[in-house]
């Protein structure tokens, strides 16, 4: 089920759905998604679907991971990136191949430690993890070239906007009229430019730590 052919079919699907950045497709191709889910779900790891990872959380759909990553990249590889919501660590592993350094925050310590073990197994050494409430970002390492939020906040957290470099991008799901949309906000010398990308369906960003 995790044959090269099965994995390649997923990359082709993501391409067909409109993700064309070769760096993103290559990072997706290089990342073994079955490592990031429970063994019982490994045979479904290369389906284009979100899967449960315990604690009421999910590993995001591969297309969504690819789309958000593409939206975050301005051109080439980034310097520093912050992810809010480490979860399984899959999105973080993709980012780690496209940025010099990735910081990732998770509120559930059991998920964070499982992700840490996976990064060690995969030899990913440019990831810095933090157990905390990501709504306040990571001011001690700001500003960032990119911030990617993988849980849906109520509104746009001002702390995250403040932690962007000029030219930096914040990609996040935002609640609108009972649904969610994926937003990309770019910090400019004049203020913030906002683009609506597509509909989204993320678990909520929750305050506090577990």
Would you name the residues annotated as active-site residues?
A: 60
Concatenate the DSSP letters of all residues of 139-155 into one string. Answer: GGG--EEEEEE-SB-SS
Residue 174 binds ligand SAM, judged by CB under 6 A: no
Tokens (6 digits) for 24: 């993103």
Binding segment (CB under 6 A) for ligand SAM, from list 81-89, 138-146, 168-176, 179-187? 81-89
C-alpha 45/C-alpha 74 separation (Å) is 29
Tokens (6 digits) for 46: 């290369």
Residues 119-148 binding ligand SAM (CB under 6 A) are 133-135
Q: Cβ 72 to ligand SAM, closest distance in Å?
A: 13
DSSP single-letter state for residue 196: E
Smaller CB separation from ligand SAM, 139 or 207: 207
Residue 118 binds ligand SAM, judged by CB under 6 A: no
In DSSP terms, 192 is beta-bridged to: 187
C-alpha 98/C-alpha 92 separation (Å) is 10
Residue 202 binds ligand SAM, judged by CB under 6 A: yes
| From 69, 91, 96, 180, residue interacting with ligand SAM (rule: CB under 6 A) | 91
Q: Is the peptide bond before 34 cis (omega within 30 degrees of 0)?
A: no
**Residues at the contact surface with ligand SAM, assessed by CB under 6 A:** 57-60, 84-85, 87-88, 90-91, 105-108, 111, 133-135, 150-151, 202-203, 205-207
């Amino acid at each position: 089920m995790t044959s090269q052919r099965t994995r390649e079919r997923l990359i082709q699907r993501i391409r067909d759905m409109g993700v064309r950045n070769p760096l993103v497709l290559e990072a997706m191709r290089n990342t073994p998604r079955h490592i990031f889910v429970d063994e019982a779900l490994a045979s479904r790891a290369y389906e284009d679907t979100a899967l449960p990872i315990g604690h009421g959380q999910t590993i995001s759909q591969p297309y969504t991971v690819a789309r958000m990553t593409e939206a975050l990249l301005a051109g080439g590889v980034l310097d520093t990136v912050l992810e809010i919501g480490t979860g399984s660590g899959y999105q973080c592993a993709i980012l780690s191949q496209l940025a010099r350094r990735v910081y990732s925050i998770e509120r559930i310590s059991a998920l964070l430690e499982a992700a840490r073990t996976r990064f060690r197994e995969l030899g990913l050494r440019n990831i810095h993890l933090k157990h905390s409430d990501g709504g306040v970002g990571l001011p001690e390492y700001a500003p960032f070239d990119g911030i990617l939020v993988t849980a849906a906040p109520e509104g746009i957290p001002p702390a995250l906007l403040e932690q962007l470099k000029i030219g930096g991008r914040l990609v996040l799901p935002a609640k609108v009229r009972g649904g969610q949309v994926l937003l990309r906000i770019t910090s400019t010398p004049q203020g913030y430019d906002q683009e609506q990308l597509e509909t989204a369906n993320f678990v909520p960003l929750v305050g506090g730590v577990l």
